[in-house]
A = this chain, B = another copy of it.
Amino acid sequence: MIERSKALAIIAGAGALPIEVAQSAQREGWDVFIVALRGSARLGDFPGFPSTELRIGQLGGMLDVLQRRGISNVAMVGSLTRPALSDLRPDAGMLRRLPRIVQAFRGGDDHLLRRVIGILEDCGLHIVDIRQIASGLLIPSGTITTRKPDRLQLSDGALGLTLLDTLGQYDVGQAAVVIGGRVVAIEGAEGTDGLLERVAGMRANGRIRDRKGTGILVKAAKPDQDMRIDLPTVGPVTIDGCVRAGLAGIVMREDEVIITERERVIASANANGLFLIGMDGNARR
């Protein structure tokens, strides 16, 4: 086998994840270059890394930069709200590929990202699995907090993970909230923060009457998710949302969910009496 080049470009969206992945990749021996997507990431967030800033429409420009630097490995990290076509302002390199890009806007998010990956691969790039370059950021098997889940919470977790498996085929739902055997909320386009806000609202208006400190958030990748795309994440904002939603903890499918700002997340969970656990839902059914 040919030894792959260790040159890696991280196409960085918003959030704390891109810098964490960049640092993790660097620790694992990668030679990291940052492409910060304007409006989502800022160059200032990546001190010490060579970098450039591009609009999302500058596919052509990006290919030029990567070619000049001899980079063929690319990882896409961080959040991107689904862009409007009108926001893309395509450059010449992108215009040539526009028909496929327009097609990418039909269907769910996975669909969109898969086509973007296809376009990048057509351009000769190799899309790297984030787990390959940042395995230390994934939730391991077992509890990582002081508090441990009880049997009912583990059973809610197994139910939720099975539900997410079922939903995956519809390209929706990487999270749900389960309280005492009852699925009370499923994530759609609103995202996990919106999901948790809704649960907090339902506690407040009496739609959910179970006492505070019951129920769990479940997070997993979609069953057929392309793991080269950024994985589901849990961060400090997720913990805050769980606290406001009156939940007892988070059940994540092991090795499928990334914890951002891990020390802060664990400290905040411990301070609020939440548990965080990685589990293999299938094995526990």
Contact = CB atoms under 8 A, between A and B. Distances in A.
Interface string A187-198: 011110010001
Contact of A185 (B181, B188, B208): B188
Given A167-B167, A172-B184, A190-B202, 16 more contacts: A107-B181, A107-B182, A109-B182, A163-B170, A167-B186, A171-B182, A172-B186, A173-B183, A173-B186, A177-B188, A183-B188, A184-B189, A185-B188, A190-B207, A194-B198, A194-B207
Contacts of A170: 159, 163, 166, 183
B172 A189 contact: no
A44 interface: no
A159 B109 CA distance: 16
A284 interface: no
B209 A82 contact: yes
A68 interface: no
26 contacts: A81-B206, A82-B209, A84-B209, A106-B180, A107-B181, A107-B182, A108-B181, A108-B182, A109-B182, A159-B170, A163-B170, A166-B169, A167-B167, A171-B182, A172-B183, A172-B186, A173-B183, A173-B186, A177-B188, A182-B189, A183-B188, A185-B189, A188-B198, A190-B207, A194-B198, A198-B198
B108 A207 contact: no
B171 A189 contact: no
Interface of A: 81-84, 106-109, 159, 163, 166-167, 169-173, 177, 180-186, 188-191, 194, 198, 201-202, 206-209
Q: At the interface, is chain A mostly helix, strand, loop or mixed?
A: loop
A169 B183 CA distance: 11
A83 to B, nearest CB: 8
Contact of A189 (B81, B84, B190, B207): B207
Given A206-B81, A207-B81, A209-B82, A184 B188 contact: yes
A173 B206 CA distance: 19
Given A190-B207, A207-B81, A208-B189, A171 B198 contact: no
Of A183, A188, A191, A208, the most chain B CB neighbours within 10 A belong to A188
A251 to B, nearest CB: 16
A85 to B, nearest CB: 9
B190 A188 contact: no
B81 A181 contact: no
A211 to B, nearest CB: 10
Nearest to A84: B209
Most buried by B among A171, A190, A208: A190
Contacts of A186: 167, 172-173, 186, 188
